[in-house]
Chains A and B, each alone.
Chain A
Amino acid sequence: MIDVPVYDSAKRPSPIVEELLQVLRYRDLIVQLVRRDVIQRYKRSILGVAWTMLNPLGMMLVMTIAFSNVFGGARAYAAYLLIGLVAWNFFSQTTVLAMRQLVWGGTLIQRIYVPKTIFAISSIGTGLVNLLLSLIPLAVVMVVTGLPPQPMALFLPVSILLLVAFTLGVGLLLSTVAVYFPDVAEMYEIALLAWMYLTPIIYPEDAIPEAYRWWLFNLNPMYHLVKLFRLPLYYDLWPSPERIAVAAIVALGTLAIGWIVFTRRADEFAYRI
């Protein structure tokens, strides 16, 4: 009878720690939720998984045609653009999905206990599947535009990891707010659009007048994170320690804040959704 689990509402570890332990216990559920999302998305389409690769490729094609004359100076513009889009799409799609998943899970949360961060975490998983798949067309475009991936590309796992941390942090913060105010989801989609245009995704950095550049870029966390994708892939440079440090502080700090805010509120969710 020793390993019988005992629950005592009066003796709980801090919710921040407890949630982490529960997520570990429910790790197989994360896999199942990611599977469900991926299957749901592709099962009934003819092109299946190919869509994930064609979607950013199509966007890149349209934008290249539209903007390559405007930003004519940029070398291998298509590759520059696609690197930015891959990172941006991961961030925007995953944060929106995290919000939706928690609201989907709402009916479930009222009936059974599930660690509530699991919905944001599984959104990250789904996003990662898409991100990794879109690296294939990215590699093709890079070769075609004369920028074949160099050994510096080995830095990419670090870039992805930091982007994941930041995205999860933002996703958790947004989900917390969306539980109380569903209209935040719509507001956020508008904000995302503005945010994307304030980040050098489709335009080169020097398209912004020098006077605004420092403010616009340094105060924008996504600038630092996208830069970690572009430096090794597009500029063939190993990011400097300062750059990595800034990105890591921004990403891990956001994750910590998101995790703390979400888990402290999570007990209330069942009353709300």
Chain B
Amino acid sequence: MSLLIESEPSQLPVLEEPEVTIRLDKVSVRYRVPHERIGTFKEYAIRTLQRRANHDEFWALRGVSLEVRRGEVFGIIGRNGAGKSTLLKVVSQVLRPTEGRVWLRGQVAPLLELGGGFHPELTGRENVFLNGTLLSHSRREVEARFEPIVDFAELGEFIDAPLRTYSTGMVARLGFAVATAWEPDILILDEVLAVGDEAFQRKCQARMRAFRDNGATVLMVSHNAATVHAMCQRALWLDHGAVRALGVAVEVVTQYQQANAG
């Protein structure tokens, strides 16, 4: 196992070297963007006949390599369109890399836009089961965690009311509670969670910290350099899909801020 891209001096004996849980090896992702969006079969047939169905290629990630270890909070910063979300999608197995290799060890929990799989006509209870199974858990596993989920979301007897009667905060709380009910090996966060009121946000942050302390890897994306500075040990600065800087969070964030100021 190599000590690639490690900027801190390695003082630990080899045996206690924390395990690598995420490894990206020269990962590239290519999107094909049609010149004009071809939305219908009819248009496609016409275009093909006229030989005009051309694509532009767009590399959202270019040769990104990195390693993240157990218990590490790793931040990704960069401007809009720099490839941050694409990187998260490659790690959460939503996209396959066009080139390169993604290697992960452990259960991945994606926490992207909470409550995406919720259905308004179903009750909170039914939605917990739907969402839990969407996150690859079995019905039995959801059953076992059901009480803690409801407690954490602070829903009480509302759990049996249809979701359409919930406030936005209640939906977000339930989404967070389901998504974090199982301790993952790798937690993926897209933007820092602004869920519910301040008290609930503190609860969320406490839960994240507990995950990290128990050895989970946290991979997070933020536009906000200060958040990355405050929460992460190491960080990656993505620029037009390529690695611009990688190392200790403080240093990467400083470089990023200097570049943006100039």
Interface residues of A (CB under 8 A from B): 4-10, 25-26, 28-29, 31-33, 35-36, 39-40, 43-44, 107-114, 177, 180-184, 187, 267, 270-271
Q: C-beta contact mask, B34-49 vs A, less than 8 Å → 1, else 0? A: 0000011110100000
Closest Cβ neighbor of A177 among chain B residues: B41
Cβ-neighbour of A32 out of B31, B93, B130 (below 8 A): B130
Selected A-B contacts with CB under 8 Å, 17 pairs: A6-B106, A8-B103, A9-B96, A28-B138, A28-B139, A29-B133, A32-B133, A36-B122, A36-B130, A39-B121, A40-B121, A108-B116, A112-B117, A113-B93, A180-B41, A182-B40, A270-B95
Interface size on B, residues (CB 8 A): 44
* Given A35-B126, A183-B41, A184-B41, 10 further pairs, Cβ under 8 A: A8-B104, A28-B138, A40-B121, A40-B122, A111-B94, A111-B116, A113-B92, A113-B136, A267-B96, A270-B95
Q: Which A residues lie within 8 Å of B108 (CB)?
A: 7
Give chain B nearest CB distance to A4 CB in angstroms.
Answer: 5
Instruction: Decide yes or no whether B245 CB sits under 8 A from chain A.
Output: no
- Asked whether A29 lies within 8 Å of B134 as measured between CB atoms, the reply is yes
Give chain B nearest CB distance to A154 CB in angstroms.
Answer: 32
Give chain B nearest CB distance to A81 CB in angstroms.
Answer: 34
Most B Cβ at <10 Å: residue of A40, A44, A110, A111: A111
Instruction: Decide yes or no whether B102 CB sits under 8 A from chain A.
Output: yes
Cβ-neighbour of A9 out of B103, B136, B138 (below 8 A): B103
Cβ-neighbour of B41 out of A10, A31, A187 (below 8 A): A187
- Asked whether B92 lies within 8 Å of A112 as measured between CB atoms, the reply is yes
Which B80-139 residues have C-beta < 8 A from chain A? 89-90, 92-97, 100-108, 110, 112-113, 116-117, 119, 121-122, 126, 129-130, 133-139
Give chain B nearest CB distance to A177 CB in angstroms.
Answer: 8
Bound Cα distance A180, B44 (Å): 10
Bound Cα distance A10, B98 (Å): 11
Contacts A5-B106, A111-B110, A181-B41 given; indicate if A271 touches B95 (C-beta within 8 A). yes
- Asked whether A108 lies within 8 Å of B134 as measured between CB atoms, the reply is yes
Closest Cβ neighbor of B121 among chain A residues: A40
Give chain B nearest CB distance to A11 CB in angstroms.
Answer: 9
Q: Which A residues lie within 8 Å of B72 (CB)?
A: none
Most A Cβ at <10 Å: residue of B89, B135, B136, B138: B136
Closest Cβ neighbor of A107 among chain B residues: B116
What 7 pairs across the A-B complex have the smallest Cβ distances? A181-B41, A29-B133, A183-B40, A113-B93, A9-B102, A10-B101, A28-B139
Give chain A nearest CB distance to B206 CB in angstroms.
Answer: 24
Q: Which B residues lie within 8 Å of A44 (CB)?
A: 121
Q: Which A residues lie within 8 Å of B129 (CB)?
A: 32
- Asked whether B136 lies within 8 Å of A26 as measured between CB atoms, the reply is yes
Bound Cα distance A183, B136 (Å): 32
Bound Cα distance A8, B24 (Å): 10
Bound Cα distance A33, B225 (Å): 40
- Asked whether B126 lies within 8 Å of A9 as measured between CB atoms, the reply is no
Q: Which A residues lie within 8 Å of B119 (CB)?
A: 36, 40
Closest Cβ neighbor of A9 among chain B residues: B102
- Asked whether B95 lies within 8 Å of A7 as measured between CB atoms, the reply is no
Bound Cα distance A25, B107 (Å): 14
Q: Which A residues lie within 8 Å of B112 (CB)?
A: 111-112
- Asked whether A114 lies within 8 Å of B41 as measured between CB atoms, the reply is no
- Asked whether A111 lies within 8 Å of B113 as measured between CB atoms, the reply is yes
Q: Which B residues lie within 8 Å of A29 (CB)?
A: 130, 133-134, 136
Contacts A5-B106, A9-B101, A32-B129 given; indicate if A114 touches B134 (C-beta within 8 A). yes
Q: Which B residues lie within 8 Å of A28 (CB)?
A: 133, 137-140
Q: Which B residues lie within 8 Å of A270 (CB)?
A: 89, 94-95
Instruction: Decide yes or no whether B239 CB sits under 8 A from chain A.
Output: no
Bound Cα distance A161, B156 (Å): 44
Bound Cα distance A180, B42 (Å): 12
Bound Cα distance A211, B94 (Å): 53
- Asked whether A182 lies within 8 Å of B39 as measured between CB atoms, the reply is yes
Bound Cα distance A187, B41 (Å): 10
Give chain B nearest CB distance to A49 CB in angstroms.
Answer: 16
Q: Which A residues lie within 8 Å of B137 (CB)?
A: 28
Closest Cβ neighbor of B133 among chain A residues: A29
Q: Which A residues lie within 8 Å of B126 (CB)?
A: 35-36, 39
- Asked whether B139 lies within 8 Å of A31 as measured between CB atoms, the reply is yes
Bound Cα distance A44, B121 (Å): 9
Give chain B nearest CB distance to A113 CB in angstroms.
Answer: 4
Closest Cβ neighbor of B94 among chain A residues: A270
